[in-house]
Amino acid sequence: MANIAFTATKESASRPQVWIRRYLFVLAGLTLFLMALGSATRVMNAGLACPDWPLCYGVIIPRQQMNLQVFLEWFHRLVASSMGLLVIGFVAAAVRWRRSLPGWLPWAALAAFSLVVFQGILGGLTVTQLLRFDIVTAHLGMGLLFFSTLVAIACCLTPHQGMGSVGRLRWVSLTATLLIYGQSILGALVASRWALHQCLSGSKLCVVMNSHIAGVVPATLATLATVVIAWYTPALHPTLRKLANLAGALVVLQILIGVATFKLHLQVEPLTVMHQAVGASLLGTLVAFTVLSLRDAPAGLGSRHTSTTLIDSHSDRSPQEPGEQPA
**pLDDT band for position 174 (cuts 50, 70, 90):** very high
Number of domains in the chain: 2
Is 280 part of any domain?
Answer: yes
Is 3 part of any domain?
Answer: no
93 and 180 share a domain? Answer: no
252 and 145 share a domain? Answer: no
3-state secondary structure of 59: strand
47 and 176 share a domain? Answer: no
The answer to whether residues 246 and 209 touch, using CB atoms and an 8 Å cutoff, is no
28 and 74 share a domain? Answer: yes
Is 148 part of any domain?
Answer: yes
Is 277 part of any domain?
Answer: yes
Q: Is the dihedral of CA 174, 38, 146, 236 positive or negative?
A: negative
Residue 258 has pLDDT above 60, yes or no: yes
pTM of the model: 0.86
Average pLDDT over residues 139-164: 93
Domain boundaries, position 170: 161-298
Q: What is the pLDDT of residues 117-135, one digit of tens each?
A: 999 999 999 999 999 999 9
277 and 229 share a domain? Answer: yes
The better pLDDT of the pair 135, 313 is held by: 135
Is 35 part of any domain?
Answer: yes
26 and 111 share a domain? Answer: yes
* 179 burial via Cβ count (<10 Å: 0-12, 13-18, 19+): buried
The better pLDDT of the pair 9, 256 is held by: 256
Is 75 part of any domain?
Answer: yes
170 and 234 share a domain? Answer: yes
138 and 210 share a domain? Answer: no
Q: Which of 65, 2, 50, 35 is nearest to 188 (CA)?
A: 35
The answer to whether residues 115 and 87 touch, using CB atoms and an 8 Å cutoff, is no
121 and 229 share a domain? Answer: no
Q: Which of 43, 34, 41 is nearest to 264 (CA)?
A: 43
Residue 83 has pLDDT above 60, yes or no: yes
Q: What is the pLDDT of residues 263-299, one digit of tens each?
A: 887 778 888 899 999 999 999 999 999 999 998 865 4
Is 77 part of any domain?
Answer: yes
Residue 87 has pLDDT above 80, yes or no: yes
